[in-house]
Every structure is written in structure tokens, then in C-alpha cells.
A and B are shown apart, each in its own frame.
Chain A
Amino acid sequence: MTTHTSHTPTLVGGEWIHQDGDHTALMITKCHDCGSTWFPPREICSRCASGNVEQALTGDRGTAYASTVVRIGPAAFKPPYVLAYVDLDGTRLLAHVDTDEALAPNTPVELRVGAIGEDENGPLSSYVVAKVTEVTTPGDAR
């Protein structure tokens, strides 16, 4: 049995994460035939099987649909940890929340990259969300 000793952080879902300065975005797929929006992105639409799709980037602001503090769960994520379903530019995705408490429904959040846990190969990071704290101008959203 091989023992992994590498400590290179693993970026979970890294192929879909786009970072530009302070802004984090995710790659999504929009179907031009039926209008469906998909995350993770895909080659063909999983609603109508059309290949007439566009790969696009989300903005970095969304809204929590629901959230929980997981107190018993896989050791790699070091319970307790906070999860939320986040509505972001037409897609709903599950992400860790950078906080100690569950977010109330409809809380505005922003996308970031952050630590989510640690497995036998080292630290895990991924896209995460945090409560929007600073006042923003509409021009910030892409």
C-alpha cells in the first residue's frame, strides 16, 4: 500500500473556478436551445441533449437558499462545518460557508476560494461563500 505524503493543496472543482484579482467566478453552461443553465459545465445540455451550448462565467454575488451546520459528517471536512445552497446566476450550487453559523435564507453571499477540509493527501480548498460585508456598487458585479 502506498502512503501519500504530498501536502500540495487539492483545489476541489478547480477546473471550474476562475479567479481574476479579488473576484472569484465559476464556469457554467447555458443552453441556447432550451435555456437551461448548468453547473458544473458540460458538453451538451442535460435537459434537451443539444450541443448548442455556451460556456460562461458567473458573477461573484449570490443568495443563500438554505444552510446548515453539519455537526456529524465525514472527518475530511472537520465537523462542525457550514454548508449552503447558493443561488448564483441561474444555478444553485452547494458550497461551504466561511462562518460558524447557518446562513438565514436569502442572505446575500459572495464567492471566494477557501479551505474546506483536509484528506490523506493534504489540505482541501474549493469555491466557498461568505456573507457579503462591504457596501458594493452595481459596477462590481460582472
Chain B
Amino acid sequence: MRPVYVAGAAVHPFGKHLGVNAAELGYRAVRELLTTTGISPEQVDAGYGGSTYGGSLLAQRVLQRVGVSGPPVYTVENACASGASAVHLAWQAIAGGFADCVIAFGTENLSGFGGGTLPLTTNDIEISQGMVMTAAYAMRAQRYLHDFGATVDDLTRVSIKNRRNGALNPRAHFQKPISAEDVEQSRPVADPLRLLHCCPNSDGAAAVLLCSEEFAKQLTTPSIRMRASVVRSGDFHTSYRDMTWPDITARAAKAAYEMADIKPTDLDLVELHDAFSVAEFLHTEALGIADRGQAYKATARGEFDRDGRVAISPSGGLLSRGHPVGATGVIQICESYWQLTGEAGDLQVPGAEVALTHVTGGGIFGVDNGACSIHILTTT
């Protein structure tokens, strides 16, 4: 396999953009990517666009507006991991020698659905019983608190930390820090979770340029190395399952660490799928960053702060940055690109050299999640 580089990143800020559809948001991000990297459309060998609700041929509708029409273009759907899955396919194309320059993007507009919980797949046995993502994570939270002695205050600390991080991020949906009192007074959503333990439904888009080493050398923009790119699907069974241990994350992480030849202790920062506060505990443990049942103590001790042992979601995570489903996996890579090129501004993790991005997608029964994608990025 050939080495793969990320040589550019662009984001349409996350937030509420009612009436601006997914294709338009994606177009704005991709247009900025072309501007900042200085590449011309004929240099693009392939394109991959991730979206869950954006509709048929979304990637064509975005890329043809910037002159990328003719080469292979694909729309990728993998629930919350759609964008990261698009990046993974772009990585495959470069690593396999089939392309030298590929655009991967993710985009979503969720405002069109109004408020409340997101619509999930139909014809699912749990959804026909009233399952929603908030309930799935609420039950994981109840069991985590029960098994390991954590409290709702521990969940609240994750929200406070990630909102504090996101308050400095101009791309974040929420740019205001919150207090414990704010969380305690927010609406109960699914016990024990309150509204401020949950990420918002957002609109936004993000795009990255992946390329070969030779191509990266022709550009004036800085590059980082993509050391690992992994996608896994959920392990389907209807037997008893430890819902405090996201097996899909553990399996994807093991493959990514092996591919990158990197250990969890090498990581300077992680952009993690904190769709709900409890997810930071479940996934940092499955990623090998905290011992089993101990992540809540690490959060409380400040080990996951921006200047802590390893910065978890220094850009604000989904809790603050927001969650335009298909765009999330791509903005995580954009944020990491700016961290590793020293361009993260107020968000900068001092001396950041190794970053990991993690998304899990999906609400279907019988699996932890439908899809999980992990990327590991380094400065060289």
C-alpha cells in the first residue's frame, strides 16, 4: 500500500441552516477546499460524499458544481459513520494506487426534520417498540453507572468539558460554555440523560483532500500522514451483550493501531463520537485510553482536558460542535488536520503529533452500532 496524505481541509460551520440543503452545504465546503488547496477540478481522480439523509446521487450534485464531473463519484451511506466511510474509500483509492488526488466530504441538513429525536430505519424490531437513539444511550448510561459506580455528575462533567472546548471553535454549533446547573436544569430526555447530555441535530458539511506523496509535494498547503483508516460493521447477535463495552470500537481500534503501529499512549488527541456524554466513557475505554470502568475518573481528574494526558474532543466533540450526521466523521479529520499542522488556533493541543478520529453509526437492533470508523493521523 502507498502512503496516504491529507493535504487540505474545509468546513461549512455547523449549526442551524434551515433551508440550505445538504448538497448546497457540501458544495460550499468543497468549493472552499479547492480554493485553499489551489487544486483544479481536472486534477481530481475520484470523489466520495457521505450523507445519511441527503438523497440519491448527492456526491454528483455537490462535485459537479465545482467542475468534478466525469471521474468516478460515489455517495456513501453508513449512518453517523457515512462521512468517515467516504474518507476510508478515498484512502483505499490512494493507498491502492488507483488515484493520486481524491476529494472526500460529508454533508447533512437535519433542520428539515424539525426537533426531537431523529427518524430511524423502519422495519426494525426495536424501533417498532419505540426505540430512539437517546433511549439506547440512556440504557447504556444506566448500566455503566450501575456497574462501575459512576454518577450522573460524571456524565455532566463530559458535557461541561466538551462545551468548554467548543466555546473556542468558530465551526461549532454551540459556542458557549455551560455549568453543571445548566445541565441539571435542562429537559429530561431519557433517564438518566438530560438535553445537555445529548448532542444537537445540526446542519453542516466538511471536506478533505487525500492524495499520494508525489501529489502532496506539488501543493503549497501542509500535509499530514493518514496512518490508519478502518471501517467495521457491528457484530450481529440477539444474545446477551455487555452494553458498557462497545465491541465494534474495540475491534476497529485494534485494527487501526496495528495498521499505524501506534499505541493508545502515543495519542495526543482524539476526536471521539460523543453523541451522548456516556459515549466518552464507553469509547475511551474501548479505545484503550482508559482502563475498564475508569474513564469517568479520568474525565473528573482532567486527564481528557485540552492540556491533559490526552485531549478528548478538543474541538468540542459532537456535544458542542454538533452532529450533522454524515459530516461528523469528516470534520473530525479536518479538526485533526489543523491540530497536526499547528493551525488550530485557540483549540491547539500543544505539541500535537498523533491524532485519532472515531465515529460510530447507527440504530439497528442486534449490534452495538451498525458501523464504526477510525482514522489515525500523524504529522509525518
A contact set with B: CB distance below 8 Å: 12-13, 36-40, 46-47, 65-74, 76-77, 81, 83-85, 87, 90-96, 102, 104-105, 116-117, 126
Contact = CB atoms under 8 A, between A and B. Distances in A.
Contacts of B365: 94
Given A40-B125, A72-B190, A95-B129, A66 B143 contact: yes
Contacts of A93: 125, 238
B134 A72 contact: yes
Contacts of B146: 66, 104-105
A94 B131 contact: yes
Contact of A105 (B126, B135, B143, B188): B143
B125 to A, nearest CB: 6
A92 B240 contact: yes
B128 interface: yes
B241 A92 contact: yes
A27 B142 CA distance: 28
B246 to A, nearest CB: 14
A38 B135 CA distance: 22
A123 to B, nearest CB: 14
Size class of the contact patch on chain B: 20 to 34
Interface of B: 116-117, 125-126, 128-132, 134-135, 138-140, 142-143, 146-147, 187-193, 236-241, 243, 365
The 4 A-B residue pairs with the shortest CB-CB distance in the complex, in nearest-first order: A66-B139, A68-B138, A77-B130, A66-B143
Contacts, number: 107
Contact of A13 (B128, B139, B142, B188): B128
A126 B122 CA distance: 17
A117 B140 CA distance: 24
Nearest to B198: A72
Contacts of B117: 72-74
Given A68-B135, A94-B365, A74 B130 contact: yes
B137 to A, nearest CB: 9
B142 A105 contact: yes
Nearest to B142: A66
A37 B241 CA distance: 13
A95 B236 CA distance: 19
A71 B129 contact: no
B236 A91 contact: no
B355 to A, nearest CB: 33
B238 A73 contact: no
Contact of B238 (A69, A74, A92): A92
22 contacts: A36-B237, A37-B238, A66-B140, A66-B142, A68-B142, A68-B190, A68-B193, A70-B132, A71-B187, A71-B189, A72-B117, A73-B117, A73-B130, A81-B130, A83-B131, A83-B135, A84-B139, A85-B243, A90-B239, A105-B142, A105-B146, A116-B129
